[in-house]
Amino acid sequence: MARRAQPDPVWLFDLDNTLHNAGVSAFHHFDAAMNRYIEDTLQVSHEEADHLRAHYWAHYGNTLVGLVRHHGVRVEHFVRATHRLPDLERALMGHPHDVAALRRLPGRKIVLTNAGRDYAVQVLRHLGLLACFDEVVGVEQMHCFGDLRPKPDARMLRLLAARLKVSPSRCVLVEDSLMNQKSAHRVGMRAVWMQRWSRRHAHGPEQGARLARRPAYVYARIGSLQQLHRLP
């Protein structure tokens, strides 16, 4: 009896430090911009703003969640104020073989980023990757039942799979963040750890994390998008 062909996976790609080197282009800007936003919006000192930014990121996996939950910040206002990067294109670093690797990858491909959608589109367009994706989902679109639920929230991942009309087991999350991969594994998705830039430019609560050993919840480790074609 012929073996039934497996359906193509649905690929969920993080953006920063997964599809481009954000450590040299965006992360430093975002940290400074968030600090200024917190200072101005909450009327606190620079030191307190820096503490709140790091604290909410460590606690929720996303600074914006803490600001929304505890200070009533509006998502769209935050994104507009913190995602202005007029010289972004000059600092963007991708990889020349990524376009070909993504085009050859079977299945739907979606960018799922905790950054703003317009910023993500700007980055992807400049890198020549925008046409490789079927959809770009930014932080503004990650609401569940009225609440902001960006990565690593498992409820958002389940809801996204339902919206895409696929089982979570069909989804593969390609990420540099172990926190987000752990949530993906919890809901039944396969988690692929992109390490191309994370050794030098790990960011947020995972700075300094040991990168040599693959955690049990990680399906595979890769250093390039071409390696996705060789996954079992």
CB of 206 closer than 8 Å to CB of 27: no
Q: Which CATH class is domain 10-22+89-230?
A: alpha beta
CB of 224 closer than 8 Å to CB of 95: yes
CATH architecture of 27-82: Orthogonal Bundle (1.10)
Q: Are strands 109-112 and 135-137 parallel, antiparallel or unpaired?
A: parallel
Region of 175 please: left (phi>0), alpha (psi -120 to 50) or beta: beta
Provide the pLDDT for residue 211: 58
Provide the pLDDT for residue 209: 53
**Could you tell me the pTM of the whole model?**
0.91
Per-position pLDDT tens, the chain of length 232: 455 568 999 999 999 999 999 988 788 889 999 999 999 999 999 999 999 999 999 999 899 999 999 999 999 999 999 998 888 888 887 788 999 999 999 999 999 999 999 999 999 999 999 999 999 999 999 999 899 999 999 999 999 999 999 999 999 999 999 999 999 999 999 999 999 987 654 555 554 455 568 899 999 999 999 999 999 8
Provide the pLDDT for residue 200: 56
Domain range annotation of the chain? 10-22+89-230, 27-82
DSSP designation for 176: S
Domains 10-22+89-230 and 27-82 alike in fold? no
